[in-house]
Chains A and B, each alone.
Chain A
Amino acid sequence: MKILETKDLKKYYGKGAGLVKALDGINLSVEEGEFAAVVGTSGSGKSTLLHMLGGLDYATSGTVTVAGKEIFKLNENELTIFRRRRIGFIFQSYNLVPILSVRENITLPVELDGRRADQRYINEIVEMLGIQDKMNSLPNQLSGGQQQRVAIARALASKPAIILADEPTGNLDSKTTQEVLGLLKLTGERFHQTIVMITHNEALAQLCDRVIHIEDGRIVGDSVRGGVRHEK
């Protein structure tokens, strides 16, 4: 089923001569369990798209439906709670809380929601990500790759409907990038998470089930792995 769907999504900034069409009618849908990549150069609208999908900002027109809810129909409070419960984020610059330990960082979204963290589930996640020995460390004691793995664990821990990743390997060297991408795919499949990753790097998208190309605020390509056949 579709976990994410946009209909004619538009985001315009300014007006008149200064009108910038960041998103110009995006129609996109992502199935549950897919690992999708949105690839575009700088200025293509991919970051704006991510902000719309995550409900971090309101659109000029059009709808975004996540897990059956049209998020722009929600008021600010409801949207905040929806984000907290239903959407996981992974950012380029990890965004871990520096004064909290790794364990506390991972369980933060769940505990902010007043729920108790499922320790067994979290232990499974951190073992798969190879950070089980670092649970009591502080973020600044970890390497970039390890910090990003903590961020992945944090996104997975709250079992969101969808995980949005904004250039998750942007700050990592090429070897670590390969590892983190592999782990993202592995954990996504293992824990049945839907992941949408935006990136400017075409090569990174090769592990994804779906590659969507965006340019000047429009979708210019959409290919599905395993579904493309060359007919003779």
Chain B
Amino acid sequence: MTVSVLDICLAVGILLCLAALITWACYYFRQLKKMDALLENYSLWQLSAEDVQDIQETRESRIISQLRQILSDASEKERLAVSEKNQVMELISDLSHQLKTPLANIVMNTEILMDDGLDAENRKDFLERTRGQAEKMQWLMANLIKASRLENGIIDFKAENAMIKPTLASAIGTVYAQASKKNIEIFMEEFQDRTLWHNPKWTGEAITNILENAVKYSPEHSHIRIGIRPLDIYTCITIADEGMGISEEEYPKIFQRFYRGEQAESNDGSGLGLYLSQLILQSEKGYVTVSSRLGEGSCFSVFLLNHG
């Protein structure tokens, strides 16, 4: 049998094709193996700082890159679960820390009250103080737990497109008595009522906290002005007081848990009011910022979405 040139070419051709096919198959399976390895141990991406598989121009590289992204998202969720547990522990620690002082005061007061030699007026005085401390503890408990639930998303209050005037009115109503005691007048500028995305009860509370803060740090016979500025996506509710003001460095700090501020009195309040306000507003996709100058009053801006 004679073998022609054509036959040889054909044979070589087929062999080459086969070789190419096998090489391609090997490469393909190697890539699949890499992805298998990636999936098996998804913390791999943290350890391989030298690995540059996912930043080549190849298609496999793109897929590996996306896989890494997905896996890192999954591991992030795991981490969040662990951090929630830590937050509960933090809450317990906070509670015990904050309740320590009022409790000690109550114990001390009752010891004094047990003294038979105490006259009626002093007795009344100490009873008042004891009640005051107990009320403070109640308030603290309620708000700390509220804050913790909001942080963990356990309370999921529903926001809705609701009219804003009633919400503002109820907030003003709540602080009216406090403000009157200091002869502080609260003005709300005239505006056409509109719907904003918020939960009336909770937002009312958030704004009440801000108003209470304004009343607390404003001098007697001063004014608090509430204004409204509609923007593209949000509407801004401004609450301006004529109080002692806040320095720029303190802007982010005043919204922190238990922060009291350098100029604050150490008796009133607990440093939770503004923190809760920010939490509530952020839960309904809003937020609050402050703008202020020391000695020149502060302006709190509450942003609520125009529609949810």
Is there a chain A Cβ closer than 8 Å to B126's Cβ?
Answer: no
Contact assessment for A208 and B252 in the assembled complex, using a CB-CB cutoff below 8 Å: yes
**Closest residue on chain A to residue B66 by CB atoms:** A115
Contact assessment for B79 and A205 in the assembled complex, using a CB-CB cutoff below 8 Å: no
Is there a chain B Cβ closer than 8 Å to A98's Cβ?
Answer: no
Is there a chain B Cβ closer than 8 Å to A232's Cβ?
Answer: yes
A136 to chain B, nearest CB (A): 19
Residues of A within 8 A of B287 (CB): 182, 185-186, 207
> Which residue from B66, B258, B303 sits with its C-beta under 8 Å from A178?
B303
Residues of A69-96 contacting chain B, CB below 8 A: 69-70, 73-74, 78, 81-82, 85
Contact assessment for A85 and B79 in the assembled complex, using a CB-CB cutoff below 8 Å: no
Residues of A within 8 A of B47 (CB): 68
A179 touching B72 in the complex, CB below 8 Å, given contacts A202-B249, A228-B256: no
Interfacial residues, chain B to chain A (CB-CB below 8 A) = 45-50, 52, 54-57, 59, 61-62, 65-66, 69, 72-73, 75-76, 79, 101, 229, 231-234, 236, 248-249, 251-253, 255-260, 271, 275, 282, 285-287, 289-291, 301, 303
A70 touching B49 in the complex, CB below 8 Å, given contacts A182-B287, A206-B252: yes
**Closest residue on chain A to residue B253 by CB atoms:** A228
Residues of B within 8 A of A206 (CB): 251-252, 255, 289-290
Taking A68-B46, A182-B303 as known contacts, 16 extra A-B pairs with beta carbons closer than 8 A to each other, sorted by chain A number, are A1-B46, A33-B76, A81-B56, A81-B57, A113-B62, A130-B233, A145-B232, A161-B69, A178-B289, A192-B76, A202-B251, A203-B289, A223-B252, A225-B256, A228-B256, A232-B101
C-alpha spacing A229/B257, complex, angstroms: 7
Residues of B within 8 A of A225 (CB): 252-253, 255-256
Is there a chain B Cβ closer than 8 Å to A138's Cβ?
Answer: no
Chain B interface main SS type: mixed
C-alpha spacing A81/B69, complex, angstroms: 15
C-alpha spacing A70/B249, complex, angstroms: 34
Residues of A within 8 A of B282 (CB): 189
C-alpha spacing A113/B59, complex, angstroms: 10
Most buried by B among A69, A130, A145: A69
C-alpha spacing A33/B76, complex, angstroms: 9
Is there a chain B Cβ closer than 8 Å to A167's Cβ?
Answer: no
C-alpha spacing A178/B301, complex, angstroms: 9
Contact assessment for A230 and B260 in the assembled complex, using a CB-CB cutoff below 8 Å: yes
Is there a chain B Cβ closer than 8 Å to A215's Cβ?
Answer: no
A73 touching B251 in the complex, CB below 8 Å, given contacts A85-B55, A230-B258: no
A78 touching B50 in the complex, CB below 8 Å, given contacts A182-B234, A185-B287, A202-B249: no
A231 to chain B, nearest CB (A): 8
Contact assessment for B232 and A178 in the assembled complex, using a CB-CB cutoff below 8 Å: no
C-alpha spacing A146/B258, complex, angstroms: 37
Residues of A within 8 A of B257 (CB): 226, 229
A179 touching B256 in the complex, CB below 8 Å, given contacts A69-B49, A202-B249, A230-B271: no
